[in-house]
Amino acid sequence: MALERRDDWTWGYCAHDGYVGYVPSTALDDTDQPAPTHWVSAPQGLVFAAASIKAPLLVAPPLGSRLALTEFDDRFLAATGGGFIHRRHVRPLGDWTQDPVAVAESLLGTPYLWGGRSRAGIDCSGLVQTSLMACGAACPRDSDMQQELGTAVPEDAWDGGLRRGDLVFFPGHVGLMADATRLIHANAYWMTTVIEPLADVVARLRPDHTHPVVAVRRP
């Protein structure tokens, strides 16, 4: 959503989460585009030049991307503007995943990239946002904003009372509980997306932080 153009840059915000910033004006297209019909449900989608998995690859939209697609055959959908994507890589809008942790688990091994939000590289809050939005839930981009999601889990329940899907917040960091004791998170310590014991993360942060866990939210 473009708000102001100044020289070669345009100031605006992302329609899907309200995130603000600048983009090069040359990256914007003022022509009307068809409304999206599907979203990429695979860790990364593949758009081919023809309706064949052996055709050249045109673009690889990340998980969560919204595409305008039309019927083509029993295996492929045609993308507006050219290209074909396999039906197994997309779902119709509204056909959301039910488990955000399962979405996060599909991105295990993705390299850590500050500001990233794709299979090519992802950060902690990007993992949370991508996982929740794949379930049809609104989610802001940064971890400090994400602390407003859902309801607070009382501190006396943090030890032994956490559930799969709970969001655990640390100073400048966030992850999702994979189960009662393990956290899945994209982090710069391992430089990848991993599942590890929450106790290990807390122990690693304790020398530098009196309170390694600052909040737990249940979306």
Assign 100 to helix, strand or coil. Answer: helix
Q: How far apart are CA 58 and CA 128, in angstroms?
A: 28
Assign 128 to helix, strand or coil. Answer: helix
Domains 38-92 and 100-218 share a fold: no
Mean pLDDT, to the nearest integer, of 113-137? 97
Q: Say what the pLDDT of residue 8 is.
A: 94
Query: Is the pLDDT score of 35 beyond 90?
Result: yes
How would residue 130 be classed by pLDDT, with cut points 50, 70 and 90?
very high
Residue 195, amino acid: I
Query: Is the pLDDT score of 32 beyond 90?
Result: no
- Token pair, residue 80, equals 């507006």
How would residue 29 be classed by pLDDT, with cut points 50, 70 and 90?
confident
* Residues 126, 117 contacting (CB under 8 angstroms): yes
- 79-107 per-position pLDDT tens digit: 998 999 999 999 999 999 999 999 999 99
How would residue 7 be classed by pLDDT, with cut points 50, 70 and 90?
confident
- 172-209 per-position pLDDT tens digit: 999 999 999 999 999 999 999 999 999 999 999 999 99
Return the CATH fold of 38-92: SH3 type barrels. (2.30.30)
Query: Is the pLDDT score of 30 beyond 80?
Result: no
Mean pLDDT, to the nearest integer, of 3-20? 92
Q: Say what the pLDDT of residue 101 is.
A: 98
CB atoms within 10 A of CB 171: 13
Return the CATH fold of 100-218: endopeptidase fold (from Nostoc punctiforme) (3.90.1720)
β-strands 192-197, 47-48 pairing:
unpaired
Mean pLDDT, to the nearest integer, of 124-134? 98
Count of CA atoms in the C-beta half-sphere (13 A) of 166 = 26
Q: Say what the pLDDT of residue 4 is.
A: 95
Give me the residue label for tokens 């022509």: 31
Mean pLDDT, to the nearest integer, of 122-132? 98
Residues 6+ apart with CB under 8 A from 17: 129, 133, 138, 139, 140, 141
Mean of per-residue pLDDT scores for the chain: 96
Separation of first and last alpha carbons in the chain: 27
Q: Say what the pLDDT of residue 116 is.
A: 96
- 39-55 per-position pLDDT tens digit: 999 999 999 999 999 99
How would residue 67 be classed by pLDDT, with cut points 50, 70 and 90?
very high
β-strands 173-177, 192-197 pairing:
unpaired
What share of the chain in percent tops pLDDT 70?
Answer: 100
- Which residues in 197-213 are b (16+ Cβ under 10 Å) and which e? ebeebbeebeeeeeebb
